[in-house]
Amino acid sequence: MKEQIATFAERVERLRNEVSRVLVGQRKVVDGVITCLVADGHVLLEGVPGLGKTLLVRTLSECLSMSYARVQFTPDLMPADIVGTHILEDDPHTGTRKLVFREGPVFTQLLLADEINRATPKTQSALLEAMAERQVTITGRSRPLPKPFFVMATQNPLEMEGTYPLPEAQLDRFFFKVDVPFPNLDDLVTIMDRTTTNATQSVKAVLQPSELAELRGIVREVVVAPEVMRYAMRLVLGTHPDSPHATPSARRFVRYGASPRGAQAIVLGARTHALFEGRAHASIADVRAIAHNALRHRLGRNFDAEAEGLSTDDLVSKILDELPEAEGRVARELGA
C-alpha cells in the first residue's frame, strides 16, 4: 500500500501544482474538487461572482485531458438544450428526410453547469439521470455518456431573484458542496499581478483519465476500521431529528437529515482525506474534516433554525460538537 500512497500523493500534487499556475490560492477548494474526482462524484461550487469557479473547472479539464462542455443556465433553457434532441435531416443519397439525434452538451466527460440555479426545475431535472446513472433516456432509448463523466455546477448565493433553488433530490446527487471563499490579501495581490498585466498563464495535461481511474481504485482500498465506520454512520443518523442517535441540535433545528448517498460521501471522502494525509487508514478526524462538504447541502433547516439565523454549516458544526466519538458514551446518554 505504501507504493499506492506514494503514487496517489505524486499525481495529486502534480495536479495541484498545474492548477495553481492559473488559480491562485483556494487550496481547500481545489482539494475538495479533487476529492470528488477521485471518488467518482459530482461537485457543487458556491461562491460570489469572480472567485474563479468557472476557471477552476475549465483548468481541470485541460489538466486531465478530458472533453469539456459548458452550459450557461438561464430561465429559458430547455431540457433538450442539455441532453440533445431529434431533428429532421435531408438524406442526400435518397432524397428523403429522416430523424437524426443530435447530442447535447451533456455528452462530454466534464460538464460545467454554470449558475445551475437560474434554470427552471424542469431543466434542472434533465441532469438527474445523467448524474445518477451516467446515461440519458430520450424517446424511450437509453444513451450512455462518455466515461468518466463528472458534473461540476456553480451557483451564486447572493442574487436569489430570478433563481430556482435546486430540488433536494438533485442536491443529494452532488458528492460535495464546496464553498468558495473570498481570497486573502496575499492571494488578491497575486491575482492582480496576473490579471492586470500582459502575462498569460497556461496549463498542460498532467493526468490521463486512465490514471484518474487508478486513483479511484486506490481510494477504495483505504482501510476504514469498524469504530470509524460506526462513527460515520452515527453522524449520518445524528442528522435525523427522529432517530435515536439524533443530537439535541438536530432534534431542535433539523427538518430532514442526510441520505445514504451522504453516508457514501462521508466514507469515500474520509478515505480520500486519509490519502491526502499520507495514511492508508481513515480516522474519525478524517470524517470530521470532510463532514461540512458532505452534509451542508443534505440537511433541511426547520423554522426554528431559520428564525435564529443558523446556516446548515452551523448545524453541521453543532452536530459534530454534540456527537460523542466513543460509542459507549452514546449508550449511556440514551440510557441503555
CATH for 1-75+109-218, options being 3.40.190.10, 3.40.50.1000, 3.40.50.300, 3.20.20.80: 3.40.50.300
Identify the DSSP state of 107. S
Kindly report the pTM of this predicted structure. Answer: 0.85
The cell numbers describing 58, all together, are 475549465
- pLDDT above 90: percentage of residues in the chain: 32
Distance, in Å, from the CA atom of 239 to the CA atom of 261, rounded to the nearest integer, reads 14
Please report, for the chain, the start and end positions of each structural domain, with discontinuous segments joined by +.
1-75+109-218, 222-336
Cβ neighbours, 10 Å, residue 25: 17
pLDDT in tens, 260-315: 999 999 999 999 999 999 999 999 999 999 999 999 999 999 999 999 999 999 99
CB 30 within 8 A of CB 16: yes
pLDDT in tens, 60-111: 888 888 888 888 888 888 888 888 887 888 777 777 877 788 888 899 989 9
Cβ neighbours, 10 Å, residue 210: 8
Enter the CATH code of domain 222-336.
1.10.8.80
For position 175, what pLDDT does the model report? 92
Residue showing cell 452532488: 174
Q: Where are the alpha helices (DSSP H) in the chain?
A: 2-20, 27-38, 53-63, 80-83, 121-124, 128-133, 168-171, 185-195, 209-219, 226-238, 248-253, 260-276, 284-295, 303-307, 312-322, 327-333
Distance, in Å, from the CA atom of 62 to the CA atom of 51, rounded to the nearest integer, reads 19
For position 193, what pLDDT does the model report? 78
